Amino acid sequence: MNKGNRSWVEAAGRMRRVFFSQKFFSPFLYAALTGIAVWAALYFVRPVPSESFGEPTGMLGPYIQDISSTKASICWWTIDGTEGENDRVTGGAPSDWIRHHLDLSDLKPGKTYNYSVEGVEGSFHTFPEAGSPFKFVVFGDTRSRHEVHQRICDRASSENPLFVVNTGDLVHDGNRMDEWVKFFQISQKLMRKAPYFPVLGNHEHGSPIYLNLFDLPDAERYYSFQSGSAAFIILDSAADEVDGWKSTFFAEEKAWLKEKLDEYEEMDYLFVFMHEPLFTAMESRVDGTIERREYWSDVLEDPRISAIFCGHDHQYHHAFSNGIHHFITGGGGAPLHPAKKLMDETVKTAEIEHYLRVEVGESQTDITAIDINGNIIEKTSIKPRSNREPT
């Protein structure tokens, strides 16, 4: 392995809140170009083969969370964790699952870092500085047909994305830990190298397991982050505990969204993600999209938004309205839905399993829909805000 441009973190041994440096702990932390400060809540983890997930000696992960241009967190879960100051979950998961995390700080933007959790190796790339190009992938509705989900993950992994966004319905029933175990088993190769940003879907049922498994910023159910010259806003459009679109929850979320649109005013690209779409190619869901557009139009028709990515409908759908591209990418594993051109805004539909490759560049962003067999469904280019035609 060529470590000339990389940094190496070895997460092993029984250590708590230990500072690693190149000078004193070079066997554990190798940084050829830069040094990093590592503060860890870290305990011994035995490596187990992937087929052992869910068994008494099982492990979920490792996977990357809470990442930016200067920090990241390596997370994993064990059933038979050691005693100590780790996080035992009693409300959001079976009490025998224990969360471990290794928090990394003072990282350098746009650098690749390798890590190993007792023999299980992975890597991640910190987010780049403004103006630098990067690539991410988007897919959703991975809740069933595990062999399809696996193939989508394998194709997405081959793209070597900076990160992944799942548009919701990650599992069939978010309150069942065994389904999350299967989800992590399928996603493990991808998640070890690409930070994973989830969107709450209706099948998550607002589960506390979801909130425990994913280390998310802001309000967690909805949140935002930045990478390069792009901003990302993730919304919760499927909160089970609320009563209709005019509930207190959605009012608070909408107010937060307005603040974020102002905060990211100067970004070249602004991407919004939510599970339930504003346009559809399904006759049975037209009324729902009309209702959502009526409620969200004052914020989600904002010309500062470059594109909106959704799931919920198990198909590919591309619509264009008021200068904003709307993508449904719900072909990650759930049974496919029929797609028809029902709305004037519809640009393209496809009834096939797929994912989106999004390449963010200085002069334009290319969004390519790719089916499960590697064929291109459609390619769309979006200009940065400064170069977009007025609508």
Q: How many CB atoms lie within 10 A of CB 28?
A: 19
Tens digits of residue pLDDT in 235-257? 999 876 556 666 788 999 999 99
Q: What is the pTM of this model?
A: 0.85
In 76-90, which positions are buried (b, 16+ CB within 10 angstroms) versus exposed (e)? bbbbebeeeebeebe
Q: Where are the domains of the chain?
A: 6-125, 134-387
CATH of domain 134-387: 3.60.21.10
Q: How far apart are CA 140 and CA 32, in angstroms?
A: 38
Tens digits of residue pLDDT in 54-86? 333 478 999 999 999 999 999 999 886 444 345
Q: Mean of the pLDDT values across residues 3-28?
A: 34
Q: How far apart are CA 131 and CA 363, in angstroms?
A: 10
Q: Mean of the pLDDT values across residues 93-99?
A: 72
Strand partners, 163: 136
Alpha carbon 188 to chain centroid, angstroms: 13
Q: How far apart are CA 53 and CA 68, in angstroms?
A: 29
Tens digits of residue pLDDT in 195-227? 999 999 999 988 899 999 999 999 899 999 999
High-pLDDT (> 70) share of the chain, % = 78
Distances (CA, A) of 18 to 73, 178, 312: 15, 33, 44
